[in-house]
Chains A and B, each alone.
Chain A
């Protein structure tokens, strides 16, 4: 027996079949029949309730935070698609307005009304200012008209008599008229420069110089008059070129 290398294995296999006691068998079998007990978050009922609640929260959030549909659909004005046809039409209208002088009139009219509005606003300010200053409660009296540039915790500096006098001088009628006249002439100069630039784009370099020429418009279109001493010559922008019309005048 000892010569057989597997005799130990055979001897072991011949041993009694050790088995668990019947009571232990029954205990284990009974445990196996118990239903599976999942933790609360894994039990099917709780899981369904949890999923439903989560879905509801998401749905409510989506509805509550959803941006206005019209805002989403309407493109920004600057992004609105513009067809080449509409661009051409717009350019034609602009050109017509430019050549007939309506645009210039419109721009001059707008500048004038703007200036008049500025003047009336300033006049109102002038009439209100002394009363406000005297009351010492200027910011509270007209909060909308005069925004206070200081930080909330920063107190405005107290006004001295010197600064009050300087302010009164700045607000005097003469100074305001002077400022408005300068402003108006500046605007007219600017307007003339813009008109000259637009005409140069349409018909090429304008005749004369900025000092010698005058740009006007009449029912026939744009008219450029160049005056050098007693010599007065006129040009019109026709079909993209300057045509001298001195003899026609």
Chain B
């Protein structure tokens, strides 16, 4: 239990305006409503972080494991570290564990070109925006794991390159490289649909 952490949920300050760190400290001190606020804030990006990389059932499992880990280790959280980085670091570890279980983890080249013709639908005449988004999601899924994760973290969070490097346990240069290749591949893949 962190005594120094502000536990002011229910006080004049509204929980919604409190920082993630203060809310997590309050939750660790026994305030369950603080967790609800945190959950509402982060469930979308985290869920998408999983669903863009896994099947729906796998994503549901990983999403649940992530929150259970956070709940079980609530008294280990230190308010001096950014909560969002902490949360996504757990998410990254859960995802890596899942890939490890499936045998889908291994050395992945940042430079090797990938075949992005993912779903076999081929160039479709339908240029409706919704369909384009669906194609994009399909292309994202076909990216190498490390490029896809870096790109999704950039899209779903406000993380800087340094933050992504910290969460994924790589160097900033490595993250920049992954982001660059991911973007290039997605653009190339989408080019055939947008003409």
A interface vs B, CB < 8 Å? Answer: 1-2, 8-9, 11-21, 24-25, 27-29, 31-34, 36
Q: Does the CB pair B44–A28 fall under 8 Å? A: no
Q: Does the CB pair B133–A12 fall under 8 Å? A: yes
- Known contacts A14-B133, A19-B44; is-contact A8 B190 (Cβ 8 Å): yes
* A32-B43 Cα distance, complex, nearest whole Å: 14
Q: Does the CB pair A36–B75 fall under 8 Å? A: yes
Chain A positions within 8 Å of B68 at CB level: 28, 31
Q: Does the CB pair B71–A34 fall under 8 Å? A: yes
* A219-B67 Cα distance, complex, nearest whole Å: 108
Is B48 at the interface (CB under 8 A from chain A)? yes
- Nearest chain A CB to B153 CB, angstrom units: 13
Q: Does the CB pair A29–B186 fall under 8 Å? A: no
- Known contacts A18-B44, A20-B60; is-contact A33 B32 (Cβ 8 Å): yes
Known pairs A12-B155, A28-B39; list 15 more (Cβ under 8 Å): A2-B187, A2-B195, A8-B136, A8-B187, A12-B136, A14-B133, A15-B136, A18-B44, A19-B43, A19-B44, A24-B60, A24-B63, A31-B67, A33-B32, A36-B74
Output the residue of A1, A21, A32, A33 with the most chain B CB within 10 A: A32
Q: Does the CB pair B64–A28 fall under 8 Å? A: yes
- Known contacts A8-B183, A18-B47, A18-B51; is-contact A2 B191 (Cβ 8 Å): yes
Chain B positions within 8 Å of A15 at CB level: 133, 136-137
Is B82 at the interface (CB under 8 A from chain A)? no
Chain B positions within 8 Å of A2 at CB level: 187, 190-191, 194-195
0/1 per residue, B102-144, Cβ < 8 Å to A?
A: 0000000000000000000000000001001100110010000
What are 15 A-B contacts defined by CB distance under 8 Å? A2-B195, A8-B183, A8-B186, A11-B132, A11-B190, A12-B140, A15-B136, A16-B133, A17-B44, A18-B47, A24-B64, A29-B36, A31-B67, A31-B71, A32-B71
Q: Does the CB pair A14–B129 fall under 8 Å? A: yes
- Known contacts A8-B187, A21-B60, A24-B60; is-contact A1 B133 (Cβ 8 Å): no
Is B88 at the interface (CB under 8 A from chain A)? no
- Known contacts A8-B187, A15-B136; is-contact A27 B64 (Cβ 8 Å): yes
Interface size class of B (residues with CB under 8 A): 20 to 34
- Nearest chain B CB to A242 CB, angstrom units: 89
Chain B positions within 8 Å of A34 at CB level: 71
* A17-B47 Cα distance, complex, nearest whole Å: 10
Chain B positions within 8 Å of A18 at CB level: 44, 47-48, 51
Is B181 at the interface (CB under 8 A from chain A)? no
* A16-B129 Cα distance, complex, nearest whole Å: 12
- Known contacts A2-B191, A14-B129, A36-B74; is-contact A9 B155 (Cβ 8 Å): yes
* A31-B194 Cα distance, complex, nearest whole Å: 46
0/1 per residue, B137-160, Cβ < 8 Å to A?
A: 100100000000000000100000
Q: Which 9 A-B pairs have the closest CB atoms?
A: A32-B35, A28-B67, A15-B133, A20-B47, A33-B32, A18-B48, A8-B186, A32-B71, A18-B51
- Known contacts A19-B44, A21-B60, A24-B60; is-contact A29 B194 (Cβ 8 Å): no
- Nearest chain A CB to B194 CB, angstrom units: 5
Which chain B residues (152-195) contact chain A, with CB distance < 8 Å?
155, 183, 186-187, 190-191, 194-195
Chain A positions within 8 Å of B140 at CB level: 12
* A11-B74 Cα distance, complex, nearest whole Å: 36
Q: Does the CB pair B39–A32 fall under 8 Å? A: yes
- Known contacts A9-B155, A11-B136, A31-B68; is-contact A20 B187 (Cβ 8 Å): no
- Nearest chain A CB to B31 CB, angstrom units: 11
Q: Does the CB pair B32–A32 fall under 8 Å? A: yes
Chain A positions within 8 Å of B48 at CB level: 18
Chain B positions within 8 Å of A17 at CB level: 44
Q: Does the CB pair B63–A20 fall under 8 Å? A: yes
Chain B positions within 8 Å of A31 at CB level: 67-68, 71
- Nearest chain A CB to B51 CB, angstrom units: 5
* A21-B47 Cα distance, complex, nearest whole Å: 10
Taking CB as reference atom, which chain A residue is nearest B34? A32
Chain B positions within 8 Å of A21 at CB level: 60
